[in-house]
Amino acid sequence: MCTNIVETAPIAGWGKGADGWFELRLVSVSFDHPMHAPLEHAINIDFTNVAKGLSARVAVELTPDAAKELIRVIQATLERGNAEGVTA
Amino acid sequence: MPYTTEKYEGMIAETMTIQGHKRDTIHAYIARPLGLGPFPGLALVTHGLGWTEWYKEFARKFAHHGYVAILPDILCRVGHGTPEDVLAKSRAEGGLPDDQVVGDMAAAGTYLRSLPYLNGKVGILGSCSGGRHTYLTACRTQGVFDAAVDCWGGSVVQSRERLTPAQPVSPVEYTKDLSCPLLGLFGEDDQNPAPAQVAIHEQELKKYNKQYEFYSYKGAGHGFFYYHLPMYRHEQAMDAWKKLWAFLEKHLDAPKYA
């Protein structure tokens, strides 16, 4: 880790990894060197469940602009759902 | 003597274990030339992307040039899986504690010194976060390393906002204790370390009369040796390799690079 810019939070949900669907326990968001994206720094998001092993991971590496768009569309979706009374 | 094509060459490169920080057993990748030596030793500190194929190839490059290179798996305690999965877990845990990495690297240097085919000289080299760990280790150990190479180590001059429980002290604070000559290779377009941070680091080295050589390359940013990534810069990397070989030849009695 190079920048030390990382935030984590417990999370509830399901993700599809290399071995199929699994329950998610943690989200980790870092602004650091990506593992795959051809960028010096990226917004790296990992959804994990270490109780199921280190490979229980769904990963994305986004440009900062893409990360802002993701925030915007999630927020917009939640607001529409709330307005229409949609619940989990 | 420069290598010529009629000469025999061979190397062994394998995973083994060493006793790291607090005598924990950790994996290490070691690459060395075949033969009796004596060879200079070089402890490599992996970069921020973990114990990767690139770094193991880096170790073999040094073995090809006549060094015993050791690359401890400083992420060994995090668990095992693909390097990417291990790194993701380490990041989520807040990164590796500085004390632990310094302990592992000091142990790697001491291990090299115990080898019967060593020439008595040991260096330490790392890039990215490994450059930072290289500097920390060279400052926080005495009598273990004869030379240190910091390749674009980020956060050697670490702002208060970036200090964490795992990294509680900015490495530059330890400069008065730097135990060996230092080579620094940087890119002027790097964000971390930015040229202003490199300048602060250099001021501290001057303040304590430390032996160092810094080279900052125009048109290069972070990680300009990484030929598999877009940040690779051919011209700057080739010149920096020359500087690197010359530095190691001088301080580790290493074979002359051809």
Instruction: Print pLDDT tens along chain A (88 aa).
Output: 788 899 999 999 999 998 899 999 999 999 999 999 999 899 999 999 999 999 999 999 999 999 999 999 999 999 999 999 999 9
Q: At B161, is the pLDDT very low, low, confident or very high (cuts 50, 70, 90)?
A: confident
User: Are A3 and B229 an interchain contact pair (Cβ–Cβ within 8 Å)?
Assistant: no
| Residue A40 to residue B221, Cβ atoms within 8 A | yes
Tokens 């080279």 — which residue? B215
Beta strands B182-187 and B147-151, pairing class: parallel
Give how many domains chain B has, as a whole number: 1
Chains A, B: CB contacts within 8 A come to 75
B151/A contact by beta carbon, under 8 A: no
pLDDT, residue B3, reads: 72
Q: Does residue B166 fall inside a structural domain?
A: yes
Q: Tell me, what's the pLDDT at B1?
A: 63
The reply to whether B3 falls in a domain is no
How confident is the model at residue A4, as a pLDDT?
84
Distances (CA, A) of A3 to B8, B116, B118, B192, B251: 44, 39, 36, 8, 31
The reply to whether B155 touches chain A by the CB within 8 Å rule is yes
Residue B141, in any domain of the structure: yes
The ipTM, to two decimals, is: 0.89
| Residue-level pLDDT at B254 | 87
DSSP per residue, B135-194: HHHHHH-SSS-SEEEEES-TTSS--GGG--SSS-S-GGGGGGG--S-EEEEEETT-STT-
Nearest-CB residue to B88 (from A2, A28, A40): A28
Chain A contact probe: residue of B85, B98, B161 with most A CBs at under 10 A = B85
Q: Is the sign of the CA dihedral A73, A77, A83, A84 positive or negative? A: positive
The reply to whether B1 falls in a domain is no
Nearest-CA distance from B69 to chain A in Å?
A: 23
| B172 within a domain of the structure (yes/no) | yes
Cβ of B157 under 8 Å from any chain A Cβ? no
| B55 belongs to a structural domain | yes
Nearest to A32 among B48, B84, B94 (CB): B48
CA dist A82 and B64 (Å) reads 63
Specify if B199 maps to a domain. Answer: yes
Nearest CA in chain A to B86: A54
**Does residue B4 form part of some domain?**
no
Question: Which residues constitute the domain of residue B57?
Answer: 11-252
How far is B123 from chain A, CA to nearest CA, in Å? 22
Provide long-range contacts, Cβ within 8 A and 24+ apart, for A13-21: A13/A47, A15/A47, A15/A58, A16/A58, A17/A55, A17/A56, A17/A57, A17/A58, A18/A55, A19/A55, A19/A56
* Contact: B162, A8; criterion CB under 8 Å: no
Rg of chain A over Cα atoms, rounded to whole angstroms, equals 15
pLDDT band of B2, cuts 50, 70, 90: low
B188-214 pLDDT, tens digit each: 999 999 999 999 999 999 999 999 999
Query: B128–A8: do the CB atoms touch at under 8 Å?
Result: no
Using an 8 Å Cβ cutoff, are B144 and B138 in contact? no
Total Cβ atoms within 10 A of residue B52: 18
Task: Report pLDDT digits (tens) over B85-126.
Answer: 999 999 999 999 999 999 999 999 999 999 999 999 999 999
Q: Is the pTM of this model over 0.90?
A: yes
Write down the pLDDT at residue B8. 86
Q: What is the CATH number of the domain that holds B191?
A: 3.40.50.1820
